[in-house]
A and B are shown apart, each in its own frame.
Chain A
Amino acid sequence: MTSATARIGAGPAVRRPRRRRRLVAWLFIAPLAIVNLLVIGGPGLSSLLFSFTDWDGLGQANFVGIDNYVELFQSPNVLAAIWHNLLWTLFFLIVPISMALLGAFLLSRLRRGQVLFRTLYFIPYVLATIVSATVWRQILSPDAGIGAALANLGFDGLAGVNFLGDPSLALGSVAFVNNWQWWGFLLVLFLAAMQGVNPALYEAARLDGANAWREFWHITLPGIRPTLMFLVLMTVIWSFLVFDYVYILTQGGPAGSSDVLATVLYRTAFSEQRAGYASAMAMLLSSISAVVVAGYLILRKKLDWDV
């Protein structure tokens, strides 16, 4: 009875601060939640609705069922763009991440000059995309770019190579330029993560006779796994959203050889004025990102990852 009375008596007193704390937490979250609801939820929902219409961006939107989605998966241009996005993803999962991991590991072993290199590698990332893309367009020009300059010096291996104007080279060339800006950013993130790995582990490994490769494989990689996995996830998502470099350098050409979903979407919405069909493409892009995130969450749960 006494304890029950005490419990009953103590209940509201305990619950009140907890409720207040919860209320305060909600108050903190509320502005962001409202903004998200307005700027993401609202347009997202309207895009979903418009994706089932023939809306031209101005007039009346007529319901067309799943026609836009059927057209989407029958369009050679859209399918080609998806393929280019997949190639882009593969490139960015391998090249910049490998370069950044290697660079960060080597830099982490430097005792002097690390800040200098870190800054140098990071500089491209802070340049405006339009600036770096314009500079690279000049560098890759067959008339005034690196090929012509080398040819003047007697090295004509790249003479006349039309990096952005040759359909077989355009996508790779744009990816190369984007990587030039991107990998330094990854390097800085990996380096920061590596500096959080317990140094005692490296000392113990060296005492056991481990070489640099073994240190990297058995200590560094597991040590930065949360960062690595997060960046892999984001790389996949960003690779499907890529737009700026492609649009500035090639606009998806020549002959659609560097088209990605975002450039096709842009052209469809603003040039063809088919906002309904473009909304279906946007839904496809969002779905891809959602599937990637869901897959990641499932894997994380199954493998019991600590990120």
Chain B
Amino acid sequence: MHQKSKRWGAAVALIAAGGLLAGCASSGSSGDVTYWSAFVSKDTERYYQEHYVDAFNEQSDDAKVKMEVKQLQNLGSLTDTAVSAGRGADVVYSAGPSSALGFASAKRIDALDDYAAEYGWADKLQPWAYQASQVDGTLYSVPVEYGSIVMYYNPGVFEEHGWTVPTTLAEFEKVATEAQAAGMMPVGAGNSGYQAQSEWYLSAFLNMAVGPEKLYQALTGEAKFTDPEFVDAITLFQQQIDKKWWGGGKDRWFTNTDTDLFTGLADGTVAMYITGTWSFGDAGRYFGEAAGNDAEWDWAPLPSLSDDVAPGVYPMAIGTSLSVNSASKQADAAAEYIDFVIDDPARSYDYLAATGQNPPPLSDLASMPDTVDERSARLYTEAPESGNLGYASWTFFPAATDTYLWSEFDKIITGDLTPQAYLEGLQKVFDGELAAGKVITPFEPVPGA
């Protein structure tokens, strides 16, 4: 009896261990399509669960999606770790095509060309986004969230000072000079709490002062980051920071947070704030009734800071791309879910209206409902139609180059590095990544757009 119970104990332990290991492999049942995601709020998560996951599961006869919610801060690293080990969810998250390129090079995600043909993704997506998601002509990821960088401003403050939204360097300098004379911070900037925040401004500045065409040439290896256009741009940026136009200069840059800058925009202590359109969803927290003031916010496309750059450039950024895990046993169902996410423009724009979440870069712009905030609707119709599209660094620069861009830029702010030396370092890192095939092929800019 004693021996028998020992054997039973061993059997139970084995079954338990087997169960644990099975749990590591997949947290869903065998027929589930697993998907890891993260959300800025519980409300957004609930909306997504109901209108995407549950809606898909209701209309699908065989495939069922099981979403696991991770922390926003570590979704990327969790996915990297799992996918690199040949595990992870069936639908693989990546923070844009550059991240997806790493998975594709390691053959951790499937080529999607067959699915693209089956579901007509080339027609559903804007051409630039579809092109950016390809690796050597093969589609590996589907962009499901996109945005840009724009200039936020407070129309009441602009009216009070008699300013018009700047579109050229001269106009930009006029507003900045007058704002500084009025005791304001001319342009909001800072990276306290999130060091990489500097690249939001840097990406904007490169697009404003160097322009999409030159950036395209640098990203494809035709031009160098050490070319005079880039050196002049970084020198101009450094001069403007030294004048305390951006973020109040080096004394304040490392202290300002995104919250400080939106608060300043609302209370009239910050004149302009150049940052991502991801803030459309929560900018309302700082303005109007919710914030206990009567301020309003609006946005304008970025001004041109060079004669060679057309005003109104939109640096394009893909925040989230989805791919199919090459280890997935539910590849077809995973692709079916990805198609579901981008298939219905009304669903995407309703999601935008309800939560402020960036929509996929859909080619259908006509389905934008009236319920979408006018400012969001304007962005998502005007930007694609303008054709003046640029490149956000976190989407189009490879990982090490991008990290160098924002981490070493601190030294430009403090004056510890010259623009020339900074750009030489940037080019060196980029050369290594270009040679290693880690640079995505950027979409071609529209000349003179």
Contacts and interface: CB of A to CB of B under 8 A. Distances in A.
B105 to A, nearest CB: 5
B102 A252 contact: no
A203 interface: no
Interface in B82-131: 83-84, 102-103, 105-108
A261 B241 CA distance: 29
Overall SS of chain B's interface:
helix
Interface string B424-449: 00000000000010100000000000
Contact of A162 (B195, B251, B413, B414): B251
A274 B400 CA distance: 8
A273 B407 contact: no
B399 to A, nearest CB: 4
B375 interface: no
Interface stretch (B252-260, B270-278, B305-313): B252-260
A255 B416 CA distance: 8
B400 A165 contact: no
A47 to B, nearest CB: 15
B411 A256 contact: yes
B410 A254 contact: yes
Nearest to B416: A255
Contact of A271 (B84, B192, B251, B399): B399
A165 B254 contact: yes
Contacts of B413: 254-255
29 contacts: A54-B436, A56-B102, A56-B106, A57-B80, A58-B83, A58-B84, A58-B105, A58-B108, A59-B105, A60-B106, A142-B255, A143-B260, A162-B255, A164-B255, A166-B251, A166-B254, A251-B194, A253-B191, A253-B195, A253-B254, A254-B250, A255-B411, A255-B413, A256-B407, A256-B410, A256-B411, A270-B80, A271-B407, A272-B400
Contacts, number: 79
Interface string A265-286: 0010011111000000000000
B59 interface: no
Contacts of A60: 106
A271 B102 CA distance: 13
B26 interface: no
Q: How large is the interface on B (under 10, 10 to 19, 20 to 34, 35 or more residues)?
A: 35 or more
Contact of B251 (A58, A165, A253): A165
Contacts of A166: 251, 254
Contacts of A58: 80, 83-84, 102-103, 105-106, 108
A141 interface: yes
Interface in A49-68: 54, 56-60
B410 A255 contact: yes
A272 B433 CA distance: 11
A59 B407 CA distance: 25
A124 interface: no
B255 A270 contact: no
Nearest to B190: A165
A167 interface: yes
A162 B416 CA distance: 18
Contact of A141 (B107, B255, B400, B436): B255
A256 B411 CA distance: 8
Contacts of B194: 251
Given A254-B410, A256-B411, A162 B254 contact: yes
User: Which are the 7 A-B pairs with shortest beta-carbon distances?
Assistant: A165-B254, A59-B106, A255-B410, A58-B106, A254-B254, A165-B255, A272-B400
Interface in B219-270: 250-255, 260
Contacts of A252: 195
B255 A273 contact: no
A143 B105 contact: no
A251 B260 CA distance: 19
Given A58-B105, A59-B105, A167 B255 contact: no
Contacts of B436: 54
Contacts of B400: 272-274
Contact of B403 (A56, A167, A251, A272): A272
B77 interface: yes
Interface in B383-416: 399-400, 402-404, 407, 410-411, 413-414, 416
